[in-house]
Amino acid sequence: MENCFVLGRKIERLIKEGRLKKFIAGKQYEGSSDRRRRREGEDTRRGRYSRSVLSISDWARPTRPAITFSDADFEGVSPHEDDPIVVSAIVMGYNVKRVLVDQGSSEDIMFWEAFVGMKILTDLLMPYAGTLVGFAGDQVTARGYTDLETTFGKPDNMKTITVRYLVVNAQSSYSILVG
C-alpha cells in the first residue's frame, strides 16, 4: 500500500513539472491532487482511514456462555474434601517437592531420605527421646529434630518461617509432612 502512495507522489511531481500535460484531459492542474480532492469533497482511502482512526465506534465484547454447574452434574460423584494437599516448599535453599499438608498431624515431619538429599549436616539434629506412633499402632523412632527456614508460596506471595522438623527414618512417598 505504501508503494501506491509513493507512486501517487511521483505522478504528482511529474504533473507539477509539466511532463504529463499531454496525458491530462480537461481541467488544468490545480496543485496537489489530495488537496483538490479535499476541496471538492471527494473521499480518499487515506482520508477515510485517518478519520476512522480518530473516531470511536461502538464495540460490544463478544458474549461467552456462562459456565455453571447444577446438582445434575454431581450425580454419581462424591466430593473430594479429603483429598491430600501436596505442595512444594523451599527448605534451606532446596526446592522440596511432595510436601504433604496434613492437618491431622501433630508434628512437622521430614523423612530421612529428604534430609540426606538436602545435604543437611547431621550436627544440626538435636536429640529427641520419644517415638512416633501411627494410627495403626506402628512405631517409628526419630533421628532427632532440627529448626529449618522454610518458604511456602509463589514468588508474588511467599512466607518464610522457621519450622521445627522431626526427622524420621521411615518409608514415605512424601518428602515432608507438615501438620
Output the pLDDT for position 85: 82
Run means of pLDDT, 10 residues per run, the chain, 179 residues: 74 81 61 53 54 56 71 67 80 92 84 93 90 79 93 88 92 90
Distance CA 13, CA 31 (A): 10
Output the pLDDT for position 22: 75
pTM beyond 0.75, yes or no: no
145, 126 Cβ separation under 8 angstroms: yes
- Residue whose entry in the numeric block shows the C-alpha cell 476512522: 52
Instruction: List domains and CATH numbers for the chain.
Output: 2-54 (no CATH), 85-178 (2.40.70.10)
Output the pLDDT for position 107: 85
Q: What are phi and psi of 55, to 5 degrees?
A: -95, 155
Output the pLDDT for position 166: 94
156: left (phi over 0), alpha (psi -120 to 50) or beta: alpha
Q: Label each residue of 106-157 as H, E or C.
A: CCEEEEHHHHHHCCCCHHHCECCCCEEECCCCCEEEEEEEEEEEEEEEECCE
83: left (phi over 0), alpha (psi -120 to 50) or beta: beta
Distance CA 126, CA 148 (A): 12
Output the pLDDT for position 110: 94
